[in-house]
């Protein structure tokens, strides 16, 4: 099922070239530790999670979710509108992770015009800045990109 959802997300968001697909999958791989954590903080214990999200302005409900973690209510609301499902906004991260993990990633990618940026020469570091807000993890994401790119035909 996940493969079908991934393929649909790639198609619906026009992620087609080898460079686009490798960039998309590298970001997804890093954001979720190769698909293990579809919500932000999933690797934390319950007590660590409470402390972690107490420091986050977006809170627990609108924490990162999906293969590319969308965060903040102002991202959940337009995503819910595009998908035509108010439960995305009303229920938040757990609902997105369980039902729209690949769709959220594709929506984020399209909403931020990342394919267009790649066509204009954006690097993995540039894309990391868009996805993550910083570049501290860019080297690791570059390694994922290199690995994925070498596998794709």
How far, CA to CA in Å, does 11 sit from each of 2, 64, 107, 116?
14, 23, 12, 16
Q: CA-based diameter of the chain, in Å?
A: 44
Is residue 101 within 8 Å of 70, Cβ to Cβ? no
Angle (CA) 125 128 129, round 5°: 90
Helix (H, G, I), strand (E, B) or coil at 14: coil
Candidates 127, 125, 129, 102; CA nearest to 116 is 127
Q: From CA 100, how far away is CA 49, in angstroms rounded?
A: 22
Angle between helix axes 73-83 and 101-111 (nearest 10 degrees) is 100
**Does the model's pTM come out above 0.75?**
yes
* DSSP secondary structure string for all residues of 69-111: TB-SHHHHHHHHHHHT-THHHHH-HHHHHHH-HHHHHHHHHHH
What residues contact 99, with CB distance under 8 A and at least 6 apart?
none
Is residue 8 within 8 Å of 22, Cβ to Cβ? no
CATH number, domain of 13, equals 1.10.530.10
Label residue 1 by pLDDT band (50, 70, 90).
low
Tens-digit pLDDT profile for residues 6-64 = 999 999 999 999 999 999 999 999 999 999 999 999 999 988 998 999 999 999 999 99
Which domain covers residue 109, as residue numbers?
A: 2-151
Tens-digit pLDDT profile for residues 97-128 = 999 999 999 999 999 999 999 999 999 999 99
- Provide the number of structural domains found in the chain: 1
């Amino acid at each position: 099922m996940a493969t079908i959802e991934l393929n649909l997300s790639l198609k619906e968001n026009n992620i087609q070239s080898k460079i686009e697909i490798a960039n998309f999958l590298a970001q997804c791989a890093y954001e979720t530790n190769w698909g293990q954590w579809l919500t932000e903080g999933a690797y934390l214990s319950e007590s660590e999670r409470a402390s972690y999200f107490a420091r986050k302005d977006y809170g627990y409900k609108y924490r990162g979710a999906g293969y590319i973690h969308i965060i903040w209510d102002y991202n959940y609301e337009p995503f819910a509108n595009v998908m035509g499902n108010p439960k995305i906004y009303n229920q938040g991260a757990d609902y997105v992770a369980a039902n729209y993990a690949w769709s959220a990633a594709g929506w984020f990618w399209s909403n931020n015009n990342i394919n267009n940026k790649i066509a204009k020469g954006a690097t993995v570091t540039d894309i990391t800045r868009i996805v993550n807000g910083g570049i501290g993890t860019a080297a690791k994401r570059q390694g994922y990109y290199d690995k994925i790119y070498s596998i794709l035909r």
